[in-house]
Structure 1
Amino acid sequence: MEFEAIPGVGEKTAAALSELDDAERALEEGDVAALARAPGLSEGRAAAVARGAIRRRHDDDGGFLATDRAREIYDDVCELLRERTVTDYAARRIETFYPTRSSSRIAEVREFVERATERAPDPDVLDALSGVEPLDPPPTRRVRDRCLATADAERYAEADEAFPELSVEVVDDARGLAELARSYATVIALDEQFAGVDVEGDVRVRPDALDEQEEIVPERVLAFFAANRERILAAVAVHEAADLDPPCDPDSLRDALDRLDEDGTVVGDAKLDRLSTAVDDLDAAVGTAESVANDRLRDAIRERDVTIEGTDFLSLVEQGARVDSLLDRELADEYDAAVAAAREHLIEALDLGPGEADFAERAFPDDPSFPVEHNDSVVSRLRTELKAARDQRAARLKRELAADLSDLRESVETLARDALELDVELAVARFDDDFDCTLPEFVDGRESDDAPRGFAIEGGRSPLLDVDFEDVDPVDYRVSGATLLSGVNSGGKTSTLDLVALVVVLAQMGLPVPAERVRLERFSELHYYAKTQGTLDAGAFESTLRDFRDLVDGEANRLVLVDELESITEPGASAKIIAGILEALSEQDATAVFVSHLAGEIREVAAFDVAVDGIEALGLEDGELVVNRSPVKDHLARSTPELIVEKLADGDASDSAFYDRLLRKF
């Protein structure tokens, strides 16, 4: 894949992606965690790269969210979804969903949604997900008991890059191999020229080493599984709680992990445990064996009277005899028994096997001496033999376990990814359930009574309001073409625009929308202009007009939402400007909703029959507005002042003439 062809990916990012083993898969699946492993790529940047890959795949040039307010609505949507994720991965993965004009991308996400909404967000599954994280490669650890050897400079460079865990040495001949074999437990020769060379030590000729890296360095596989053990087991728990079909047998996987310690060593093998314990306890066991022998000899000497006649004593002295000779003559049997006890203790304490027990026999001398002392050279040789046996056993077990786990590597990575993707699916399912959502129907511009251009929302409720969702009044609203939306202050005009924007953003992300039913055309862009705070100065006013100049010259099939544009300048001028903008939008068949308190004035100066809808206030109760939140079609809503004057006219008979006069002005 040409990484630089992805929108937003430059030379530096492309180089980082090329260092990943599975970059193409990660880009295809939107695997943010895998992409974030690329050098220098943050999780946020990885999500942006994944979005760029999706855009490229669907020939989407982006730009659907054309204004700051439109992007804020999208951010709100993402936050609602993130609140329903459990894992950090899913929270980032949410960012790969975005609103688009691409029908193929929308269809792709809708297929995902249909699968997701079939799932029930079981609390046990959500609890199990709390332990799941993306699997990470562990840091490289040096392996110091073996090295690679080669006589070829080019192969040296390849091996040095392929095996960061091992030392790579250059040798010219068998003598060089022999020198390495004295320093390393195992030497792996990479060149065929060394085949058949007779060298003392563990020297193996493996020209295929670069192709069998996990066999040469089984620690690499073991370190991966050791570092990710808890995450793997958590992923297994998710599959079991959610009744998913795992890509490998969970029991076999657990059995293999039970054989692996957290530091990457093999556990659970009785022979290896025995050898390791023997190496660790050798010095202590030898010291205790000496004590056993000496204690027995002391007891024997105390219990016996040793008599030596004068001539015998003189003869022994003349011969230069020591106490050893006296022991040999007087306590030979006791000495033999003491040494036998020492040897037996050493064998039992270290649980030595038959071949190893021979060293224990030679560790204590047959010739009598007091105190009894071990033979250093024999004990040293025993230590060497035990270590060699331990290391050979450990190496064999590592290779065997690494081979078993290596066969599971791909399945385990799929297992973890599936668990993480389940979190994404459940977030969408929870969103769908929490906000009573439905998948919208796209009409693609076919206008009819049942399938209009623009949008038609039935029973829409916004989760962005600062009230409990259950308390939100449902809204029905349908717009085709350029429309003015009128209504009383605090009647819900801005909330209606937010609902429309929210529904359209969700729909064009491919996600379900919070409504009973929604039909809409697939818009090319969303332009949402929030309410301006106060009258603009001349420079800002000019800039705003330039924005709308670009807007009306853009492509057709856009949705334009504007909240009280009249505040940019004087009311009289505002009405004319808004009328002109609406005329331009109407000519290009855009769908537009302009919230305005000047709807009447705008309608009078517009060069076409502009539609006016109204959010109608039903009256005042205890000083509070009672409002029908669904805009009424072709209706100029009354203002709040009119309602107050009407209430006063109906309530105070003595002053009714004055209030009636005011009421007639509306």
Structure 2
Amino acid sequence: MDLESIPGVGEKTARALAELDDPERALRTGDVAAIANAPGISRGRAARIARAAIRREHDDPGGFLATDRAREIYRELLELLADRTVTDYAAQRLETIFPSPRQSRIEDVRAFAADALEREPNPDVLDALEGVSSLDRPRDVRVRERCLATTDAERYSEAREAIPELSVEIVEDAQGLAELARGYSTVVAIDESFAGVTVEGDVRVEPDALETPAETVPERPLAFFARNRDAITAAIDVHRHAGLETDCDLEGLEDALSRLETDGTVAGDDELDRLATAVDDLDAAVGTAESVANDHLREAIREEDVTIEGADLLSLVERGAGVDSLLSRELSDEYAAAVTAAREHLIESLDLESGEAEIARRIFADEPTFPVEREEEPLGRLREELTGARERRADRLKRDLAADLADQRDHARQLVQDALEFDVELAIARFAADFGCTMPEFVWDGEMRSGNGVSGDDDGVSGDDGVSGDNGVSEDAPDGDGIDADAGPRETGFEIEGGRSPLLDEPLERIDPVDYGVGGVALLSGVNSGGKTSTLDLVASVVVLAHMGLPVPAERVRLRRFDSLHYHAKTQGTLDAGAFESTVREFATLADRGAGSLVLVDELESITEPGASAKIIAGILEALSENGATAVFVSHLADEIREMAGFDVTVDGIEAVGLIDGELEVNRSPVKDHLARSTPELIVEKLAEEADDEPIAANGGDVRGESVPGFYDRLLEKFE
């Protein structure tokens, strides 16, 4: 993949992406977390890059969400989906699922979503997901006690690039290797010319070292698994609780991880623990052993009666002898016992083996001294012996464990990736369950039965329209960009049965289901607070989710593929001249090039005076009808607009059944070809039904000739 061909990705960003382990996979799958691991790329930028890569793959021009309100609907739906994720990855991954007009992109996500709907979330899986996160790539691995050696400058550059964790040194000959061995615990010679050379120290000749980095620097795979051990272990739990299939040996991987400490060292080896403890405790143990010997001697001296005759004392003084000579002559047995106690304490406290113990005994000399003091030379030898043994043991264990884990790296990555993707699937499944969703049926070529409303067929699917009854996708429909300009306007749009808007802040069971369908253009009338705006929100939510490839909140949905969604929310107050002009320009462009668009408008009449509004809306509807767009305009001027329109515009109505205790009782599903009564009309009708024949008193009690019911009847006549 040419990374710079992705919109918004320049040379610098392409270089950063190229540092990822598998940039093509990350971009292809929308792995925002992996993309964000590239140097200098934030998570927000990573999401934008992923979306751009997906759009490029499907030739998606973008701009499906054409208005601020359309984008708000998408963000609200995305937030509802993200609320049902457990991992940060899943929330970020959902950012790459966006509404698209391209059939190929919609079908890709539909296939993913169809599998997701088969998932059954359970508490154990959700708990395990809490510990899963995107894998981190360690960048700070550095091994200082080991180096690579070569005589060739080109080989030197190759080694530095292949194994940056180790220092690379240039030497001229075997003597150079010997000198390096004095400064490094291990020297790995990577030239074939060194084969058979014998050098003092730990020098290994491995010409293929650069081809087997896991053996040469086992810290590399160990650092990766140590850094990501918790995430991998949690992913193992997810697979077990969810019953997910995997090629990975879960037991083998789990066992290998149990032998790895968080700092990349090997755990659970008794011999390595013994050596490490001996090195760490050596100085303290020697100090304690000195105290043991000196305490023993002090006690012996206190209890011993030492008599020295004058001649003996004179002889000792003449020879320059001191207290050591006195100890040797008078307390030799006690000194030997003290030294023996010190040696035994040191050997036992450090749990030394025979060879190590032999060196340890030399730390305390046989010649009597007081106080008893350590011998630095054998102490240094013991330290070197223990340290070398520890490093050799650790190196061997690292190599063995790295060999076990190195082949599991790809499996572990896939294990974690599958667990994270499973969280995305669960989020979609949980969203669908919470809002009663189903997969919508698409009509890719734009053909739907003529007329407005939901089909009266039993299954709502025409037997010859190319729509599959299994998944709602036409198997032979072309992936077009909208309605063919030469085909003329078509009655196309959407049909919703049992829809419940997920944007309502109400429990699902308290939301009245809505049935509504529109082909072509329609006016939607209805009482205040009757649900007209909620109906537009429902339609917008269904269309956005459907074009994301996700399930929609309804019992059944059938719709065409739209090129864009234009949702104009209700304006607050009359617009000034400049804003009014801008709004009219926007609709002029839409009327000219909006053939494949869905246009939802909420009370456009509020932009200017009612009389002018009706004329403008009528003209907009005429243009949209002529170019074959699908549109729903909510308006309280439906009757006036219908009279001014140059075609037979459909007027649907959300009908209020009546008033109960001052509250409207409404049939939330719009009635086709019906101008809904207004709230004032309902109130007047209610007053007329409840009124008695008492006359109206006015002007100090003068009685008019008209009764109260008659007054209400006159008002009702005005609504006819």
Q: Fold conserved (TM > 0.5)?
A: yes
Question: Which residue type is aligned with residue 608 of structure 1?
Answer: F
Alignment of 1:447 onto 2:486: no
| Whole-angstrom CA distance in 2 between matches of 1:533 and 1:419 | 47
Post-superposition CA distance 1:271-323 (Å, at most 9, x none): 11111122122222223333333444444444444455565555555554444
Selected match of 1:619 from 658, 661, 683 = 658
How far off is 1:481 after superposition? 0.8
Question: Which residue type is aligned with residue 406 of structure 1?
Answer: A
Distance change in 2, residues 1:320/1:577 (3 Å): closer
Match of 2:123 in 1: 123
Distance change in 2, residues 1:318/1:579 (3 Å): closer
Alignment of 1:659 onto 2:660: no
Alignment of 1:577 onto 2:616: yes
Distance change in 2, residues 1:532/1:299 (3 Å): closer
Match of 1:220 in 2: 220
Higher mean Cα deviation, 265-274 or 251-260?
251-260
Give the conservation status (yes or no) of the 8 Å contact 1:443–1:453: no
How far off is 1:353 after superposition? 1.3
Match of 2:548 in 1: 509
Question: Which residue type is aligned with residue 567 of structure 1?
Answer: S
Higher mean Cα deviation, 196-205 or 322-331?
322-331
How far off is 1:246 after superposition? 4.2
Match of 2:567 in 1: 528
| Whole-angstrom CA distance in 1 between matches of 2:542 and 2:629 | 17
Which structure 2 residues correspond to residues 429-468 of structure 1 after superposition, within 5 A?
A: 429-444=429-444, 445-448=446-449, 449=455, 450-451=460-461, 453-468=492-507
Distance change in 2, residues 1:622/1:364 (3 Å): closer
| Whole-angstrom CA distance in 1 between matches of 2:114 and 2:45 | 28
Give the conservation status (yes or no) of the 8 Å contact 1:8–1:52: yes
Which structure 2 residues correspond to residues 138-157 of structure 1 after superposition, within 5 A?
A: 138-157=138-157
Distance change in 2, residues 1:338/1:538 (3 Å): closer
Task: Show structure 2 runs of 5+ residues with no match.
Answer: 450-454, 462-490, 694-706
| Whole-angstrom CA distance in 2 between matches of 1:621 and 1:294 | 102
Alignment of 1:635 onto 2:674: yes
Question: Which residue type is aligned with residue 359 of structure 1?
Answer: I
**Secondary structure at the counterpart of residue 405 of structure 1:** helix
**Secondary structure at the counterpart of residue 140 of structure 1:** coil
**Secondary structure at the counterpart of residue 363 of structure 1:** coil
TM-score w.r.t. length of structure 2: 0.88
Which structure 2 residues correspond to residues 10-29 of structure 1 after superposition, within 5 A?
A: 10-29=10-29
Give the conservation status (yes or no) of the 8 Å contact 2:28–2:54: yes
How far off is 1:372 after superposition? 3.2
| Whole-angstrom CA distance in 1 between matches of 2:712 and 2:341 | 121
CA RMSD of aligned residues (A): 2.2
Give the conservation status (yes or no) of the 8 Å contact 1:140–1:164: no
| Whole-angstrom CA distance in 1 between matches of 2:654 and 2:335 | 112
Give the conservation status (yes or no) of the 8 Å contact 2:177–2:199: yes
**Secondary structure at the counterpart of residue 96 of structure 1:** coil
How far off is 1:598 after superposition? 1.4
Match of 1:277 in 2: 277
Which structure 2 residues correspond to residues 348-359 of structure 1 after superposition, within 5 A?
A: 348-359=348-359
Which structure 2 residues correspond to residues 186-585 of structure 1 after superposition, within 5 A?
A: 186-307=186-307, 315-444=315-444, 445-448=446-449, 449=455, 450-451=460-461, 453-585=492-624
Question: Which residue type is aligned with residue 517 of structure 2?
Answer: R
Which structure 2 residues correspond to residues 68-83 of structure 1 after superposition, within 5 A?
A: 68-83=68-83
Question: Which residue type is aligned with residue 231 of structure 2?
Answer: R
Give the conservation status (yes or no) of the 8 Å contact 1:600–1:636: yes
Distance change in 2, residues 1:555/1:484 (3 Å): closer
How far off is 1:374 after superposition? 2.8
Higher mean Cα deviation, 618-627 or 518-527?
618-627
Distance change in 2, residues 1:499/1:339 (3 Å): same
Match of 2:630 in 1: 591
How far off is 1:511 after superposition? 1.0
Identity over aligned residues, as a percent? 71
How far off is 1:510 after superposition? 1.2
| Richer in helix (by share) | 1
| Whole-angstrom CA distance in 1 between matches of 2:575 and 2:68 | 18
How far off is 1:484 after superposition? 1.0
Question: Which residue type is aligned with residue 626 of structure 1?
Answer: E
**Secondary structure at the counterpart of residue 582 of structure 1:** helix
**Secondary structure at the counterpart of residue 593 of structure 2:** coil
How far off is 1:354 after superposition? 1.6
Match of 2:472 in 1: none
Post-superposition CA distance 1:447-499 (Å, at most 9, x none): 33545731111111112113222211111111111111111221111111111
Question: Which residue type is aligned with residue 271 of structure 1?
Answer: E
| Whole-angstrom CA distance in 1 between matches of 2:529 and 2:306 | 118
Match of 1:59 in 2: 59
Post-superposition CA distance 1:382-413 (Å, at most 9, x none): 11111111111111111111221222211111
Give the conservation status (yes or no) of the 8 Å contact 1:247–1:414: no
Which structure 2 residues correspond to residues 145-184 of structure 1 after superposition, within 5 A?
A: 145-184=145-184
Higher mean Cα deviation, 78-87 or 308-317?
308-317
Distance change in 2, residues 1:362/1:482 (3 Å): same
Post-superposition CA distance 1:199-223 (Å, at most 9, x none): 3222223333332222222222222
Distance change in 2, residues 1:305/1:605 (3 Å): closer
How far off is 1:225 after superposition? 1.8
Match of 2:698 in 1: none
**Secondary structure at the counterpart of residue 49 of structure 2:** helix
Question: Which residue type is aligned with residue 448 of structure 2?
Answer: E
| Whole-angstrom CA distance in 1 between matches of 2:525 and 2:518 | 14
Match of 2:474 in 1: none
Give the conservation status (yes or no) of the 8 Å contact 2:594–2:624: no
| Whole-angstrom CA distance in 1 between matches of 2:571 and 2:181 | 80
